[in-house]
Structure 1
Amino acid sequence: MSGLRGILYRSLHQTAWLTLLGMSLAGLPQTALSNPFEYKLANGLRIIVKEDRRAPTAVHMVWYHAGSMDEHNGTTGVAHLLEHMMFKGTPSVGAGEFSRLVAAAGGRDNAFTSKDYTAYFQQIPKQKLAQMMRLEADRMHHLTLDPKEYAQEIKVVMEERRLRTDDQPQARLFEQLTATAFQAHPYRTPVVGWMNDLENMTVRDARAWYERWYAPNNAFVVVVGDVDHREVFQLAEKHYGPIRPHTLPERKPQIEPAQDGIRRLTVKAPAELPVVALAYKTPVLRDVEKDTEPYALQMLAAVLDGHDAARFTRSLVREQRLAVSAGTSYDAISRGPGLFYLVGSPSEGKTRAELEAGFRAELMRIASEGVTAEELVRARAQLVASQIYKRDSMFAQAMEIGQLETAGIPYTAETRILEKLQAVTAEQVREVVKKYFRDDRLTVAELDPQPLPKTSRKSTISTRH
């Protein structure tokens, strides 16, 4: 990160900056603290509006509390498949017409499915918001799911799996790593689904998923942009209000059993470089006020990776020359259990085992010696900057709200999360390393590179909606 310059003057960021500078929020006028605004329709649909007047545009997003973790064996990938089918028409909007209408309005649209949720968005001129709501409300309860369209789209989804997973060695590695790290929790299955399930899926499976989860009382709408929240609420009443709610399936706890020891796997695939990936089971954020460990883990990730002076780049890449690349990945916001990843490729002449030992040695050093004050200051600045910079983008602001809400974290806690991150101490970072980075929480995956094919397979099917 290049620092925090260039943002201070923006009034929309006032509360975050006062927090960053150690000032109190109590003295702010109420109007500065009331944005975003929220309204709940009688059918259970929540409307969250964040006013941002910097450009005459708006982001409109519909989030469904349904992702791949809600699937069952035999129908993995159905959440993602239904996302594709949502663009295939209703009685009033033909197949493929949704995106054409958005483009004609001067906007862009797309959708994405994760383990936790499915979301749809449009970025449009603000005066086109009513049209977007009408289109989204229409497909929320009038989706056609034509068998002929399904027969074509399932081929697209299978090709997407081939292109993005089967033909990508690192994607295959992480798919197998996750499937090994989790034995009971549905996070073990890939979002795109297993190929055999896709091959045997039917339009009836897609319809059952749609009827089970696509309801106003299982969704919320986020609008960020140059809008008046009262007008947005009125539009929501008009377009979404008439949709009837329905009883949702019971969600049962799905607790991953305790791991009894280190797990290892090797994936052989055509690739240029070997890869080593270590995944440790770690907690995620559940209670913004009471939790401390997820914040310390985020700080640890920033100490190890993310800038030229970070430990992995400095020690493993430059000084020891153990790796050509080394990094981390940790997401504190999720519905299910968490994993903290260490990933790298060994340098020429170094083995995967040597790089794994190098990763472990860096963790052991933190467990015994802790992190320095300088490292903590730099990591804190990096994390705070990344949070603040999100507010420069209307889309990023809408994403932040949606991801927090789908994980069960109130979007109103955004500033408090920033404060808690800033309060992390060196001792807390050291303690999470000592507590969670142990062999009985570890899964190690290695990519064993095989000779590359002389010619690569080319797709003839577009995976774009």
Structure 2
Amino acid sequence: MRAYFLPRGICIATLLCVASVSAADLKAEATGAQHTLPTTEFALANGLRVIVREDHRAPTVVQMLFYKAGSLDEQSGTTGVAHVLEHMMFRGTQQVGPGEFSRRVAALGGSENAFTMQDCTAYFTRIEKSHLPDIMELEADRMQNLALTSETFDREIRVVMEERRLSVEDKPEALLDEVLQATAYSASPVRWPVIGWQDDLQHMTWLDARAWYERWYAPNNALLVVAGDVDPASVRQQAERWFGAIPARPLPLRKPQNEPPQQGLKRVALNASVSVPRVTLAFKAVPLEESSTGKHDAYALSVLAAVLDGYPNARLGKHLVREQRLADGVDASYSMVARGPRLFTLSALPAQGKSVKELEVALRRELQSIAQNGVGAEELQRVKTQLYAARIYERDSVFSQVMEIGLMEMAGHSWRAIEQIDQALNAVTAQDVQAVAARYFIDDQLTVATLVPQSIRSATRLKKLAQKN
């Protein structure tokens, strides 16, 4: 089964043991890492852009083909079609039968999968380097020769609806996130889930999927990223051979669907069969933008998320979990690289005997403290060190390099700006962090979503009533 996912939050991941490394050392290492991994970019005559990252540590390669077509490009009534088409891309072409793509890759010793996001849909393969031409041939074939029929669609749409049931409808936390997004936004297409609304999936036809394929799956709407033990000249030769003859097509005009200003705090509650409640505070924020103000705020918000929840002794865990014992778990999340609007979220589980109301007040108090008092120099330096460490060590993975390059490009930024982001994060000041806390953490930006425990019998009855209506 194909898998979709929605990356959330900033990557404060794994290697927290590097906290003793200085930010200056990490800055130098980040700059060196960019310069020691040669990267080549070129375009074919049909508009297909290709980026090649050389990393010769192992005789393997990762190929990822990004189409700039995600749920942001859908229309109401056919939500989820981008993800449905992702599934259909594995159902065969005129030359390759259903499931044959995956079987051929496995026979070559590789692995493959795909994902759909708000910004894009991408198809990736990990393979031994000598088999890269075989993978390009397969990928180019389904770019132009997808065998999409009503019979294959009818089977696959049932798989997608079951995926939605298992990943969203049977998981109250996921359902809360979906309800939150739909409440926070009223006009922007980010208000609907990537996997689509169930009613839209039920009424979708193979013609909807076919129209999406013909509209967006063209070389001039695609980006091919190849990384690993490869030679750029050879990659170019193979790309020309397999993709070069595919004709470009006119692309639809993307019209802005801007969100109107919010006026006042929004609230939504979801009754579910859970034993522990949850509260999420979501503030409308900005993505990384071309304007100097948008860029500056996005960098400061990323650092602010790390101040709150970027390392084991960050503010939220230290104050609300260990000291005040108001929460059993808490997190902060913000992702700045995206085409559409962003949310800065705080989510928490109240400790036994504590209410979500108490927890909401405590979360807002933490934000107000930063807005009023800022952060100390030592704390800020520690946080920025963690950010640098996470970004640098994540690039040890070839797959992560491909993802970083591709997602930057799909969001409208050049891969060359990656190094600039490292430097900009390191340049964020305490005053910058305090300013964005005061600017964005206000009622006119806020939606509060609460997961309310219900007995299993009550939750089942409410679910049946909702389905009936």
CA positional deviation for 1:289: 6.1
Give the aligned residue type for 2:92.
G
Equivalent residue, structure 2, for 1:208: 211
Q: Say yes or no: does 1:98 pair with 2:101.
A: yes
Counterpart for residue 62 of structure 2: 59
| Cα distance in 1 for residues equivalent to 2:166 and 2:446 | 29
Give the direction of change, closer, same or farther, for the CA distance of 1:18–1:232 in structure 2 (3 Å limit).
farther
Tell me what 1:262 maps to. 265
Residue aligning to 2:282: 279
Map 1:180-329 to 2 at 5 A: 180-287=183-290, 291-329=295-333
Q: Helix, strand or coil for the counterpart of 2:176?
A: helix
How far residue 391 of structure 1 moved from its aligned partner, in angstroms, is 1.2
CA deviation string 1:19-63 (max 9, x = no partner)? 71399x7xx8xx947821011000000010000001000000000
Question: How far off its partner does 1:308 sit?
Answer: 1.9
- Measured in 1, the distance between the counterparts of 2:428 and 2:456 equals 46
For 1:7 and 1:54, the matched residues in 2 are separated by 24
**2:108/2:131 contact within 8 Å kept:** yes
SS in 2 for 1:133: helix
Shift of 1:368: 1.1
- Residue in 2 aligned with 1:2? 16
SS of 1:446's equivalent in the other structure is strand
Task: Report if aligned partners of 1:3, 1:382 keep a CA contact under 8 Å in 2.
Answer: no
Query: Does residue 375 of the first structure (1) align with residue 379 of the second (2)?
Result: yes
Asked if the contact 2:19/2:382 (under 8 Å) is kept, the reply is no
Verify: 1:419 aligned to 2:423, yes or no.
Answer: yes
Summarize deviations over 1:290-340 as a string: whole Å, max 9, x none.
621111100000010032210001000011111000111100000011110
State the aligned residue count: 444
Gaps of 5+ in 2: 1-14, 461-469
Partner of 1:12: none
Residues 88-129 of structure 1, C-alpha deviations (whole Å, 9 max, x = no match)? 000110000001111111110000000110000000001110
Asked if the contact 2:26–2:385 (Cα under 8 Å) also holds between the matched residues in 1, the reply is no
- 1:148 Cα deviation from its structure 2 partner: 1.4
CA distance in 2, matches of 1:273, 1:104: 46
Q: Separation in 1 of the partners of 2:28 and 2:137?
A: 43
Residue identity opposite 1:352 in structure 2? V
State the partner residue of 1:449: 453
Aligned to 2:344: 340
**2:171 equivalent in structure 1:** 168
Q: Does the CA-based 8 Å contact 1:3-1:381 persist in structure 2?
A: no
Describe how 1:79-158 pairs up with structure 2 within 5 A.
79-158=82-161
Question: Given residue 21 of structure 1, which amino acid in structure 2 is its aligned partner?
Answer: A
Letter in 2 for 1:44: G
Secondary structure of residue in 1 paired with 2:392: helix
2:181 is equivalent to residue 178 of structure 1: yes
Cα 1:34–1:307, aligned 2, differ >3 Å: closer, same or farther?
closer
Picking from 392, 396, 406, the partner of 1:392 is: 396
Alignment of 1:349-360 (within 5 A): 349-360=353-364
CA distance in 1, matches of 2:235, 2:314: 45
Q: CA deviation at 1:283?
A: 1.1
Within 5 Å, which residues of 2 pair with 1:33-72? 35-72=38-75
Name the residue aligned to 1:11: none
User: Please, which of 414, 436, 459 is the counterpart of residue 410 of structure 1?
Assistant: 414
Distance 1:393 1:288, change over 3 A: farther
> 2:463 corresponds to which residue?
none
Question: Which deviations, in whole Å up to 9, do the C-alpha atoms of 1:260-306 show, x marking residues without a partner?
Answer: 01000000011121000000011110128662111110000001003
Shift of 1:146: 2.2
* C-alpha distance in 2 between matches for 1:389 and 1:257: 39
Partner Cα distance (2:165, 2:151) in 1: 22
**CA distance, structure 2, for counterparts of residue 131 and residue 158 of structure 1:** 32
- Bigger CA drift: 102-111 or 34-43? 34-43
Q: Is the 8 A contact 2:16 2:311 kept in 1?
A: no
SS at match of 2:16: coil
Measure, in 2, the Cα distance between the counterparts of 1:258 and 1:414.
31
Cα 1:288–1:391 change in 2 (3 A) is farther
User: What amino acid sits opposite 1:209 in the alignment?
Assistant: W
Offset at residue 4 of structure 1 (A): 3.8
Residue 141 of structure 1 aligns with an amino acid whose one-letter code is: Q
Letter of the structure 2 residue corresponding to residue 128 of structure 1? H
TM-score scaled by length of structure 1: 0.92
Which region of structure 1 is more displaced relative to structure 2, 415-424 or 444-453?
444-453
Greater than 6 Å deviation, 4+ residue runs:
5-8, 16-19
Q: 1:91, 1:49 → 2: CA distance?
A: 29
In the alignment, is the contact (CA less than 8 A) between 1:288 and 1:417 conserved in 2?
A: no
SS of equivalent residue, structure 1 residue 307: coil
Is residue 21 from structure 1 mapped to residue 35 from structure 2 by the alignment?
A: no
The answer as to 2:369 corresponding to 1:365 is yes
CA RMSD of aligned residues (A): 2.2
**Aligned 8 A contact 1:122 1:132 in 2:** yes
Question: Contact 1:288–1:416 (CA<8 Å) still a contact in 2?
Answer: no
Q: 1:126 to 1:300 in 2, by over 3 A?
A: same
What's the CA shift string for 1:196-245, capped at 9, x where partnerless? Answer: 11000000000000000000000010000000011001000000000001
- Quote how far apart the aligned CAs of 1:378 are: 1.6
Cα distance in 2 for partners of 1:379, 1:303 equals 6
Name the counterpart of 1:462. none
One-letter amino acid matched to 1:292 = H
Give distance in 1, aligned partners of 2:318 and 2:402: 35
Measured at CA, do residues 208 and 419 of structure 1 come closer, stay the same or move farther in structure 2, by a change above 3 Å? same
Q: 1:5 to 1:369 in 2, by over 3 A?
A: closer
